[in-house]
């Protein structure tokens, strides 16, 4: 078992009972929360709240401050500024109560390879003081929630990465948390497994009423969330529903590939167009893309080899708010850690 889980277990007094006195509709409330590591401001005065039963996503590239925020909310890192409550408990003044009411799935895999799925869950049930009489029923339930009932007696070392991840989610649900934190639950998984994972997550919310706070690099999957906070360099740059974020971008995007992008950008800007330059194309934001294509090509004035018009996606939203693209290779940078965790199993 990892040091991380052991830390989470420390000081846990009781597991399954939900004795929160908090009547608020908010599962998480964060006010100007900050974390500084020496000269690095990992999280800069972020404020947001998460409603009970909400699926809330932090979307941002490597180093944006996603894990640091989760660590502060889970009482594993001390804020250097601001405040936060989780399930009504203050993360600094009531850390034990916070830990009792949360489940956490770390960015790195933390299952014990040499134990079976069921043994991993039993160990966790002890750590989290799930009442003995409830353990069997609870294990059955969480295994069913992630569709792993038939693998309960198999060693984790025989699990695929996706199965291991789903078992970690089940483990995070074992003590019936009010809020489940998932740090990059789908990193390094193939698209099909990622979509299975999302089915699990939405089922947990539906059947257990748990609030879910997750982080991701992936634009497409952030759209499953009720609301998304886009975090970049320690700050929240936008926070809203996926639809509203797209509406805020408020325009079609026209991607142009030209023989001289630098010149094309200058000409488009001079003509009053809102334009961003990505690595391999120009992106122009306009009210009605199709109607303006001919005009854009005329303004650019250099040969255009490719034109693509599309309605806003979350990629465009990220570009709009940060001036940069969030790319899949950000996720790949984060993979070695995950791959190391998987390699340890062999």
Ligand X SMILES: Nc1ncnc2c1ncn2[C@@H]1O[C@H](COP(=O)(O)OP(=O)(O)OP(=O)(O)O)[C@@H](O)[C@H]1O
Q: Using CB under 6 A, list all residues that contact ligand X.
A: 37, 40, 42, 60, 62-68, 107, 334
**Closer of 88 and 234 to Mg ion (Cβ):** 234
Residue 68's binding partner, choosing from Mg ion, ligand X, none, with beta-carbon cut-off 5 to 8 A by kind? ligand X
Residue 62's binding partner, choosing from ligand X, Mg ion, none, with beta-carbon cut-off 5 to 8 A by kind? ligand X
Residue 88: count other Cβ atoms within 10 Å of its Cβ.
Answer: 19
- Give contact residues for Mg ion (rule: CB under 5 A): 66-67, 107
Asked whether 73 and 50 are in contact (CB, 8 A), the reply is no
Residue with tokens 């693998």: 151
Q: Name every residue whose Cβ is closer than 8 Å to that of residue 232 and which is 6 or more positions away in sequence.
A: 60, 61, 64, 321, 322, 324
Query: Least distance (Å) from Mg ion to the CB of residue 68?
Result: 8
Residue 110's binding partner, choosing from ligand X, Mg ion, none, with beta-carbon cut-off 5 to 8 A by kind? none
Query: Least distance (Å) from ligand X to the CB of residue 43?
Result: 7
Structure tokens at 231: 């975090």
Query: Least distance (Å) from ligand X to the CB of residue 251?
Result: 28
| Range list of β-strands (E), the chain | 26-37, 40-51, 55-59, 81-86, 89-90, 102-105, 179-183, 211-216, 227-232, 235-240, 252-258, 274-277, 282-286, 304-310
Query: Least distance (Å) from Mg ion to the CB of residue 339?
Result: 15
**Could you give the CA distance from residue 178 to residue 41 in angstroms, rounded to a whole number?**
29
**Closer of 46 and 204 to ligand X (Cβ):** 46
**Closer of 142 and 229 to ligand X (Cβ):** 229
Query: Least distance (Å) from ligand X to the CB of residue 62?
Result: 4
Residue 37's binding partner, choosing from Mg ion, ligand X, none, with beta-carbon cut-off 5 to 8 A by kind? ligand X
Residue 38, burial from CB neighbour count under 10 angstroms (0-12, 13-18, 19+): exposed
**Closer of 297 and 337 to Mg ion (Cβ):** 337
Task: Give Cα 222 distance to the centre of its chain.
Answer: 8
Residue 65's binding partner, choosing from ligand X, Mg ion, none, with beta-carbon cut-off 5 to 8 A by kind? ligand X
**Closer of 215 and 276 to ligand X (Cβ):** 215
Please count the residues of the chain: 346
Residue 88's binding partner, choosing from Mg ion, ligand X, none, with beta-carbon cut-off 5 to 8 A by kind? none
Query: Least distance (Å) from ligand X to the CB of residue 84?
Result: 15
């Amino acid at each position: 078992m990892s040091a991380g889980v052991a830390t989470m277990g420390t000081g846990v007094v009781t597991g399954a009972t939900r004795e929160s006195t908090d009547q608020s509709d908010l599962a998480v409330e964060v006010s100007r929360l900050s974390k500084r590591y020496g000269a690095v401001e990992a999280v800069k005065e972020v404020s947001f709240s998460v409603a009970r039963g909400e699926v809330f996503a932090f979307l941002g590239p490597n180093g944006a401050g996603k894990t640091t925020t989760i660590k502060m909310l889970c009482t594993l890192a001390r804020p250097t500024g601001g405040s936060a409550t989780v399930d009504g408990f203050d993360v600094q003044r009531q850390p034990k109560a916070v830990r009792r009411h949360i489940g956490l799935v770390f960015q790195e895999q933390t299952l014990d390879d040499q134990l079976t799925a069921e043994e991993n869950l039993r160990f966790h049930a002890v750590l989290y003081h799930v009442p003995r009489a409830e353990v069997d029923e609870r294990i059955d339930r969480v295994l069913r929630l992630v569709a792993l009932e038939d693998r309960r007696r198999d060693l984790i070392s025989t699990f695929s990465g996706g199965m291991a991840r789903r078992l970690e989610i089940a483990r995070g649900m074992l003590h019936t948390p009010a809020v489940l934190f998932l740090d990059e639950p789908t990193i390094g998984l193939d698209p099909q497994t990622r979509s299975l994972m999302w089915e699990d997550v939405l089922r947990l919310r539906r059947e257990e009423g748990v609030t879910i706070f997750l982080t991701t690099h992936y634009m497409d999957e952030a759209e499953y969330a009720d609301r998304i906070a886009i975090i970049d360099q320690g700050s929240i740059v936008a926070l809203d529903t996926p639809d509203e974020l797209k509406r805020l971008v408020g325009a079609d995007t026209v991607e142009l590939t030209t023989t001289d992008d630098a010149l094309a950008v200058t000409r488009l800007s001079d003509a009053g167009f809102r334009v961003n330059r990505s690595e391999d194309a120009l992106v122009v934001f306009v009210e009605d893309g199709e109607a303006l294509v001919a005009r854009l090509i005329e303004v650019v004035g250099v040969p255009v080899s490719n034109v693509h018009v599309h309605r806003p996606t979350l990629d465009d939203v990220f570009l709009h708010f940060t001036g940069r693209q969030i790319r899949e290779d950000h996720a790949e940078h984060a993979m070695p850690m995950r791959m190391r965790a998987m390699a340890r199993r062999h």
